Structure formats: C-alpha cells, structure tokens
Structure 1
Amino acid sequence: MDKTFLETYFNWEEIQPEAFVQATKETLYMTFVSTIFVAIIGLIVGLLLFQLSRKKTPLNRFFYGVVSIISNTFRSIPFIILIILLFPVTKAVIGTMLGPTAALPALILSAAPFFARLVDIAFREVDQGVIEASEAMGATQLQIIYKVLIPESLPALVSGITVTTITMIGFTAMAGAIGSGGLGTLAYQAGFMGNKYTIIMLSTVLILVLVFLIQALGDLIVKQLDKR
C-alpha cells in the first residue's frame, strides 16, 4: 500500500526543471518589482499618516480620516477579489490581464496600505523628545524626516518591509489561480488541474524556501541596524 501511495502521489518523472525555474523567476519578478513600489508608496503614505496625526487640528483630522479610509479599504479587500476588480484597469494600463506584469497593480495596491500602517507605527515609536529637540534647534521637516525619523525607525521599517514582502509571495501564489504566472500558476494549472501532486508539493516547497530566505535576510539586516 505504501508503494502504491508513493507511486500515485510522488511521480518524480512529472517534474520539468525548466518549468520550475521559469515559474520561480516569475514569482521573484512579481515579488521584488512590487516590493519596490510598495516601499516607496507605503513610506509616503505612512509618513503622511504620521504627520497628520501629530497636530490635532480639524483639517489634519479630516485628511487623516480620508487617508485612513482609503488605506483601510484597499487593505481590507481580499486579494483574490481585488485582482478581479482591477481587471479593467490592468487591461487598460498593461494591455493584458494575464502574466506576471498584470499582477503588479493588485499586488501594489493590496500591500502598500499594509506597509503604510507599519511605517506609521514605526514612526510613532520614535522618541518624541528627539523630534521636539530637532524642531527646537531649527531643523526643517525634511531634515527631521531624513535625519531623525527614518534613521531612528530603520530597523522597524526593514522588519516591516520583510513581513510585507513575505505577504506578497503568498499573494503571488493566489494570483496564480487566475493566470498570473509563477509558482502559483504552476501549482494550480499543472499540479491541481493536471492531478499531479508532485508538482503541487515541489511548488509549495520552493515558496517556503523563498519565504525562509527573505525572512532570514530581513532578520540579518535588522540585527545589523539595531544598535540597542
């Protein structure tokens, strides 16, 4: 019975190395290209949230509420639904709804608000006394951002982008169900639809390896940056 089980579910002849190499490249492409945009957009939105929350004026509260609502809306929509909702936009901007590039808008819009919240939290953890002292010495807002906020919160920011990147790897796998390419598409189309359990298992293992590597790299960078 054991032999029958292994022969049924683990047929190593089903594995095509070229397909796995291409799928891994597509997953890495989707993950790291979207991470660049998420880091930029999330940092800007997170900084905006932090600055608006510092001064409790009616106008700041209004704009903080607007930014929060928009951020929470995109953050709350399940990714698989968001990518479907964005089909018309993706088609208009990229020209197709299939392939790794077509998954980028949904990946960015789903992950950027999440990272923005992590940025806001990281900035809030910076000692307010340091910020106030910089202001008292005549530092401009731009100088405070580049010389105080970002350097002081850098370990938390790196930790946040690491978590966000790992989350996006999971999103790329979900996007594979609707033809975005990558390991998700390989696992779903060639594995699940083709009833090839070996392909599903190997795709899962490769995704886990990517997650572990990114987490290990993120932890290493945070350890080097954190001087406490």
Structure 2
Amino acid sequence: MSVETVAGNGRGAAARLGMIEVAERLFAERGVDGVSLREIGTQAGQRNTAAARYHFGSKEALVDAVFRHRMEPINARRLAYLDTLDQDGRGHDVRSLVEAFVHPLADTALGEPGNPSWYLRFCINAGLLEGIAVADLGREEWTRGVHIVRTRLLGLLDQVPQPLRADRWMLLAGYVGHALASRETFIQYGRAASLTPHPVFLSHLTDTAVALTTAPVSPETAAHLHQNRRTP
C-alpha cells in the first residue's frame, strides 16, 4: 500500500469521525428529522456537500455509525461487567443486571468531568428510528452486552405476564436513558455542582430502575390485559 493510499485512508477516517461527532450533537439538539446529511457534512468542515451521503449512504446508516462509535467501548465494559458478575455468581440477579445496564453507559458518557458527551440525548432522539441496530439488539457484536442483559432480565420476571415483559424492558430503558440524559444536560451547562454526587445518583437510579423492573402487576392491569388479550 502506497504512502498516498495510507494518507488518503487516514483522511477518510478522520472525515468520518468528524461527521459522526457532529451528527451526534445535531441529532441530540434537534432530533434526527431536524438535520440533513448536507448540514452535517458542512458543519464537519467538508467542502463536498454530499460527503455524509458518500461516507454513510443514508441517515439510518449514520445513526448506526454514531451508536457504534459510542457503544463499542460501552459494550466492552458491559461484557467485562457481566463476566465479573458470572464469576461472582450474580449473573442472574436483577439488581446486578440493572447495574450492568446502567453503569457502563453512565461511566462512558458521563465519566469525564467537564467533558460530557451528547450521546445520551442522541439516544433519546435516535433510539426509535426504524431500521437501526439498537432496534434489534441481536444484530451486531457491539449490542451483544445489552442483548444479554435484556434476555436475562426478562427471563427473571416470572411475576410479570409474558405479554408485558417486553414493555418492562422498554420502560426500563426509557427511564434510565432519560434520567442520564437529564444529568448529561445539567453537566454540560455548568450545573454539575447542584447535582447529587455521582456514586449516590447511580445507586439511587439503580434502586428505582429495579423497582420499575420488578413492580407487581396490579389487579387493574391484569383485568385490562385479560379484556384486551389477542385471540388467534
């Protein structure tokens, strides 16, 4: 491979990374539908107005690229966390699994004092976009950790009727995501001093997330479920 080719590949990788970082911020600020690929390329310093489409092909692929950029280190932390839990005999404990969901995400996105990411707010806006990897957690290696957590957690919810278990995961993920995104916003706008200390916040967030996950189904919900059950 020539020196020119290596340099070109390096410039291409730098251009991709720049657009990924700009896309994360703009999607976090204005939502996926509020930003064009052309604007992302321009704000990333690309003279070619079609640069983002050239590198990623579509907005969905760019969203996936942002998720992959952030989730690869999060996934590595989560898999290591799960390995430790398994070694300690806690790999199928509800609280431990909720911690395995919360801590790697919070530590990666909020772990650098004075340098919060835009990732958590990006997740809120981009997470439900159709056709992306996080909508199918078994699709990519970099979603394997969260796929394991989800599978194990849902398998422990014997007290929750089967039709409601997927909803429990969606409620858990939404609750944790919004709580962390709010904290990310406070940190970014210089209000970190007013926040609960980070270890206390994470433990309390885990407390409430476990309570949400394991909450008993009320007689009212059971009655509604019975009345609205699907028949073959």
Query: What's the TM-score once normalised by structure 1's chain length?
Result: 0.27
Q: Radius of gyration: which is bigger?
A: 1
Larger helix fraction of residues: 1
Query: TM-score scaled by structure 2?
Result: 0.27
Larger relative contact order (Cα-Cα within 8 Å, sequence gap ≥ 6): 1
